[in-house]
Structure 1
Amino acid sequence: MVTNKLGEWAKARLMELAKEMDLRLNKYWDEEIEKNFGFNPTQKKLVHKILCHSKEHNLRSAKRARSAFVIYGYRLGKKLKKSKNQKFENMEGVWRAAEAVELVHTALLMHDDFMDGDKIRRGRPTTQEFFGEGDAHYGDTMAVNVGDAILCLGFERLLECSSDREKIQRIMKQVLRGITNTAFGQAYDVSLSKIGEITEEKVMSLHRAKTAIYTYENPLMVGGLLAGLPEDILEILSKYSVDGGIAFQLQDDVLGVYGNEEKIGKSANSDLLQGKVTLLVVKVMEMGTENQKEALLKVWGKLMAEDGDIEAAKLAIRESGAHTYSVNVARKYAAKAADTAASLRGKGLNEEAIDYLEGIARYMVEREV
């Protein structure tokens, strides 16, 4: 339950935008499927299967937070009369940019699921599971291949968002550099395999490199660059993205252990069993008793851990104070992001967009999905 009224309103706007984005993505995929690439019937059949799976994967229930940041990053630069029920019209290029961000997101999820060995994504089989029935290697190969293809489709869509070549060049450079840094962040993530070497500082660096850039900064910058926002405003958005992105990921990590599986669309045990690097884990090792540390280590990174041991580890996280600590840190970063958004007032920018950025920062640490 979001107690902050601005957060409640931002959540409602996000849900409205998600519906519109799903309609647009559905149309986009239908057009791609209609192209039916291939030089013989067998190839055409395979490509059709790939595109149909990609459409289904991309249209699974999702927050669409990234595409909403594109929209509101753009709206920020439009000095329109404030309207909480503003309809977005004559923004085809901006919507295409938002679609591109969602395509890139789906591609990276496919790669991420392959690296993590996940079987479920948003309540449905991951790409390697979909293609790998009876042949795991083929499934893994297809997850990489299909992810690469959708990544390119995303870049292609991004090139269609403006006729201004200089603007497109800067947007592409922003997105490509952001994805590159996200890849470096992922490499850092998978290298942090020894629990005793993981610190709070390393966790925050990881969240900044992956989530802050990829989920917040890149889409906001795309929208802001399309709107022609000045450099000083882009710098404020970058600062907002760091704090907001860290808060977002900290909440994701809490949900990854304690979330409702139907709502989060995956197992609430997988983060622990896969040895995911989180602040929860770090703080148990710093603050917990020997018994609590032992309970965590019994399941962290142990894919075959028993249910009773998993529940004991979750209890240890709570009783050690690690859960409360992580939640409080997330709220601190969310408050910093909200304050940064509020600092945009009085600069001749769109007030509705500022409201959204401030409200969504608060909502992201109260959400259940």
Structure 2
Amino acid sequence: MTVAYSPTTHPIDVDDLRDRVDTALMRFLDEQEGRFDDLITDPGSRAQWRGATASLRGFLAGGKRIRPAFCYWGWRGAGGAADDEGIVGAAAALELLHSFALVHDDIIDASDTRRGAPSLHRHHADLHRRSGGRGSSELFGTSIALLLGDLCLAWFHDLLATSGLPAERVREARPLLAHSLNELVLGQYLDVAEQAGSEHSVHRARTVIHYKTAKYTIERPLHLGGVLAGAPAELLDAYTAYALPLGEAFQLRDDVLGAFGDPAVTGKPVADDLRTRKATVLVATARERANAAQAAEIDRLFTGPDLDDEQTARLQSLITDTGALAESERLIDRHVDAAWRALHDMPVPDDVREVLGTLIVAATARAH
């Protein structure tokens, strides 16, 4: 059964996609659990392993499914059938890839929360501490999270290969996937390097979001769906023209939410990006636009001890006073306009164009 688009239907729910992706993921996890039951004979070890994979199930259940949506509509735009469950399995596999990236990202950023709940390494560190386990609880939590993240990467390849799509189509997608993983790691590396630098650059911060968000979140999922459906090069180029500006707008909106957003929306503490001193385009813009006194204050707040509520509020004021917040909003609008223009020229069916348009709105809406 499919769900037709209507103004009250979220774009990720069109064609019942969110439920289909969730079903494919849970079915795959059930199959993997059965395989591991065959590998683990000791009841105590089996119970421990099930506890670890249960935490991963909970982590996977919280995703927004935006990458599967772009993959699916990339498929549909290239003429793929709506009722093909193979593309749903391939799209669901992207949630496993994304979970791999998020688990590792949370460790790198020392993030305590993800989607309104403890991050995976924090969850397992807390379990170790409460149970009186031997050794370092922090090391235990990090170790378990790293292993589960690595497992997600392995499972991504497994689910894609067993999705039910023709093997030759999956083989054709392999170079794209390898290149996409290179881009993801490059974006993460550049992000870590920029965080470590003493001066933040708007240009470098935008390079990070080009690889870590615009290509990874929107362009490559669209390309994957297109390649799996046999899309011509001209259509893949049209997907790029739409995806790259939309991906930048999406991350810029996320930066604004990370500094000013409602925790009920973001799933993170108030102004979490500021408290953790993320080197975002928003902060780099504030630093570049600041006068001497403002720049000195930003530097002091950004390099000192952990920010308290008053200091966080002051940093928010500096971002606003320098015009950085308004400039970010202007950039978002400019990129959104570019995505709409590209969508207008995209050679896809009208129903696909309509959903891709609603995804522009969903990915960049103000919610702060």
The Cα shift of 1:303 comes to 5.6
Between 68-77 and 195-204, report the one with greater CA deviation. 195-204
TM-score normalised over the length of structure 2: 0.88
The Cα shift of 1:63 comes to 2.2
**Residue in 2 aligned with 1:25?**
25
- Cα separation, 2, equivalents of 1:27 and 1:157: 10
In the alignment, structure 1 residue 75 sits paired with structure 2 residue 88: no
SS at match of 2:146: helix
- Cα separation, 1, equivalents of 2:338 and 2:6: 18
In the alignment, structure 1 residue 94 sits paired with structure 2 residue 96: no
SS at match of 1:149: helix
The residue identity in structure 2 corresponding to 1:350 is P
- Cα separation, 1, equivalents of 2:198 and 2:278: 13
- Cα separation, 2, equivalents of 1:302 and 1:267: 19
Judge conservation of contact 1:272–1:299 (CA < 8 Å) in 2: no
**Residue in 1 aligned with 2:132?**
none
**Residue in 1 aligned with 2:134?**
none
SS at match of 2:278: coil
TM-score normalised over the length of structure 1: 0.88
**Structure 2 unaligned spans of 5+:** 130-136
**Residue in 2 aligned with 1:341?**
343
- Cα separation, 1, equivalents of 2:349 and 2:123: 44
The Cα shift of 1:161 comes to 2.9
Deviations, residues 215-237 of structure 1 (Å, cap 9, x unaligned): 01221111111211111111111
- Cα separation, 1, equivalents of 2:196 and 2:111: 21
In the alignment, structure 1 residue 138 sits paired with structure 2 residue 140: yes
Matched positions, count: 351
**Residue in 1 aligned with 2:10?**
12
The Cα shift of 1:9 comes to 4.1
The residue identity in structure 2 corresponding to 1:13 is P
Q: Give percent identity, aligned residues only.
A: 25
The Cα shift of 1:41 comes to 2.6
- Cα separation, 2, equivalents of 1:142 and 1:361: 36
**Residue in 2 aligned with 1:323?**
325
**Residue in 2 aligned with 1:83?**
none
- Cα separation, 2, equivalents of 1:72 and 1:225: 12
SS at match of 2:268: coil
In the alignment, structure 1 residue 55 sits paired with structure 2 residue 54: no
Between 202-211 and 350-359, report the one with greater CA deviation. 350-359
Judge conservation of contact 2:11–2:359 (CA < 8 Å) in 1: no
For residues 172-183 of structure 1, the aligned pairs below 5 Å read 172-183=174-185
Alpha-carbon spacing, 1:10–1:108, altered in 2? closer, same or farther (3 Å): farther
- Cα separation, 1, equivalents of 2:171 and 2:289: 48
Structure 1: 4+ residue segments shifted above 6 A: none
Between 26-35 and 93-102, report the one with greater CA deviation. 26-35
For residues 348-363 of structure 1, the aligned pairs below 5 Å read 349-363=348-362
For residues 1-369 of structure 1, the aligned pairs below 5 Å read 9=7, 12-16=10-14, 17-35=17-35, 36=37, 37-60=39-62, 62-78=63-79, 88-89=82-83, 91-133=84-126, 134=129, 135-193=137-195, 197-300=199-302, 302=304, 304-344=306-346, 347=347, 349-368=348-367
